Amino acid sequence: MWLKPEEVLLKNALKLWVTERSNDFFLLQRRRGHGEPTGRITGLLVGALDTVLDSNARVTPFRILLQVPGSQISWVIASGAAIEEVNKHWDWLVHNLLHSLSVFENKEDVASFVKGKVKGLIAEEVRSRQAAQEDDPEKFREALLKFELHFGLPSSEKLVTYYSCCCWKGRVPRQGFLYLSINHVAFYSFLLGKEVKFVIPWAEVTRLERVSTGLMTEAIRVSTRLRQREFSMFLNLEEAFLVIGQLADISVRRLLDSEGLELDRVLQQPTRITKRILEEQALREYVLALFRLPRGERLHEVVSCSVWTPHARCHTAGTLYTTDSYLCFSSRDEGNCILLIPLSEVLSIEKAESTSPLPNPIIVSIRTKKAFQLIELQDRDELVERLNSRLRALQWKWSMFRSRKGSRSTRSPTPYYTFYYDTGCSDEEEIEEQVLRNTVNSEALMTAFHQNQPGTNGNKNMEQVKERLWEDHFSEFGRGVHMFRTEKIQRLIAMGIPESLRGELWMTLSDASSDLESHQGYYISMVQQSMGHNNLATEEIERDLHRSLPDHPAFQNPTGIAALRRVLTAYAHRNPKIGYCQSMNILASVLLLYAKEEEAFWLLVAVCERMLPNYFNRRVIGAQVDQSVFEELISERLPELAEHVPDLSALSSVSLSWFLTLFLSVLPFHSAVCVVDCFFFHGIKAIFQLGLAVLDANAAHLSASTDDGQALMILTSFLDQVGNEESSCPPSSPPAAEETSSSDTDIPAVRHTNITDLINDSYEKFGDLTVQQIERLRCRHRVQVLQAHEDMIKENALRLVIPDVSISAEDLAAVYDLFKTEHFISLYWGDSSSAAAAEAAAWCYSDLSHSFMERQYRLDRPQFKSLYGLLVPWPGGSDQSTDTVANRTFTLMDQDCDNLVSFREFASWLDTLYCEELNEKVRLLYRLHIPPALTESEDDPSLMKSPLLSTNRPLCVNLPSGVESEVKDYQEQLKQMLQDLAKEKEKDVEKPLPPMNQWEFIQFCKTLYSMFHGDPDENDLFQAIAKVTSLVLQIGEVGHRGHSLGSEAASQKQVTPGDAGVDASRGDGSSVAEKEWTVSYAQILASLLTEQVLVNFFEKPVDLSAKIAAAKEKQYHQRAGLLTMQQRTR
Which string of DSSP letters, residue by residue, matches 451-497?
A: TT-TT----HHHHHHHHHHHHHHHHHH-SSTTS-EEHHHHHHHHH--
CB atoms within 10 A of CB 1092: 10
Chain segment 1104-1116, per-residue pLDDT in tens:
999 999 998 888 7
Alpha carbon distance 420, 435 (integer Å): 9
Higher pLDDT, 664 or 141: 664
Alpha carbon distance 867, 857 (integer Å): 14
Residue 418's pLDDT is 31
Least confident of 734-738, 863-867, 1069-1073, 1079-1083: 734-738
Alpha carbon distance 932, 552 (integer Å): 65
Q: How confident is the model at residue 287 (pLDDT cuts 50, 70, 90)?
A: very high
Alpha carbon distance 1030, 255 (integer Å): 53
Higher pLDDT, 48 or 719: 719
- The residues pairing with 19 across neighbouring beta strands, listed in sequence order, are 29
Least confident of 237-251, 291-305, 515-529, 1053-1067: 1053-1067
Are residues 292 and 610 in contact, defined by beta-carbon separation less than 8 angstroms? yes
Alpha carbon distance 509, 492 (integer Å): 13
Q: Which of 1002, 966, 1008 is nearest to 1093 (CA)?
A: 1008
Least confident of 421-425, 643-647, 717-721, 779-783: 421-425
For CA atoms 503, 508, 509, 513, the dihedral sign is: positive
Highest mean pLDDT among 175-179, 730-734, 825-829, 839-843: 175-179
Least confident of 447-451, 536-540, 751-755, 961-965: 961-965
Q: How confident is the model at residue 364 (pLDDT cuts 50, 70, 90)?
A: very high
Least confident of 507-511, 615-619, 795-799: 615-619
Mean predicted confidence (pLDDT) in 934-940: 60
Chain segment 14-65, per-residue pLDDT in tens:
567 888 888 888 888 888 776 665 545 555 555 544 444 443 434 678 888 8
Is 186 in a helix, a strand, or coil? strand
Residue 420's pLDDT is 27
Residue 984's pLDDT is 54
CB atoms within 10 A of CB 130: 14
Are residues 950 and 897 in contact, defined by beta-carbon separation less than 8 angstroms? yes
Q: What is the pTM of this model?
A: 0.78
Higher pLDDT, 711 or 602: 602
Residue 1044's pLDDT is 61
Q: How confident is the model at residue 825 (pLDDT cuts 50, 70, 90)?
A: confident
| Vertex 488: Cα angle to 485 and 491 (nearest 5) | 115
Alpha carbon distance 337, 332 (integer Å): 9
Cβ-based burial of 299 (10 A; exposed 0-12, middle 13-18, buried ≥19)? buried
Q: How confident is the model at residue 604 (pLDDT cuts 50, 70, 90)?
A: very high
Residue 600's pLDDT is 95
Q: How confident is the model at residue 181 (pLDDT cuts 50, 70, 90)?
A: very high
Are residues 212 and 197 in contact, defined by beta-carbon separation less than 8 angstroms? no
Strands of the 371-375 sheet, one edge to the other: 346-351, 362-366, 371-375, 299-309, 314-323, 326-331, 337-342, 485-486
Does residue 961 carry a pLDDT above 70? no
Does residue 1049 carry a pLDDT above 70? no
Mean predicted confidence (pLDDT) in 215-238: 87
Residue 837's pLDDT is 61
Does residue 1050 carry a pLDDT above 70? no
Q: What kind and span of H or E run contains 371? A: strand 371-375
Highest mean pLDDT among 6-10, 90-94, 361-365, 727-731: 361-365
Q: How confident is the model at residue 871 (pLDDT cuts 50, 70, 90)?
A: very high
Alpha carbon distance 455, 727 (integer Å): 7
CB atoms within 10 A of CB 1066: 17
Q: What whole-number percentage of the chain has pLDDT above 90?
A: 37
Chain segment 231-246, per-residue pLDDT in tens:
988 888 999 999 999 9
Q: What kind and span of H or E run contains 31? A: strand 26-31
User: Which backbone phi and psi does 961 adopt, to 5 degrees?
Assistant: -60, -30
Q: What whole-number percentage of the chain has pLDDT above 70?
A: 77
Alpha carbon distance 955, 855 (integer Å): 11
Chain segment 479-523, per-residue pLDDT in tens:
989 899 998 898 999 988 999 999 999 999 999 999 998 888 899
Are residues 208 and 222 in contact, defined by beta-carbon separation less than 8 angstroms? yes
Mean pLDDT of the chain: 79
Are residues 807 and 910 in contact, defined by beta-carbon separation less than 8 angstroms? yes
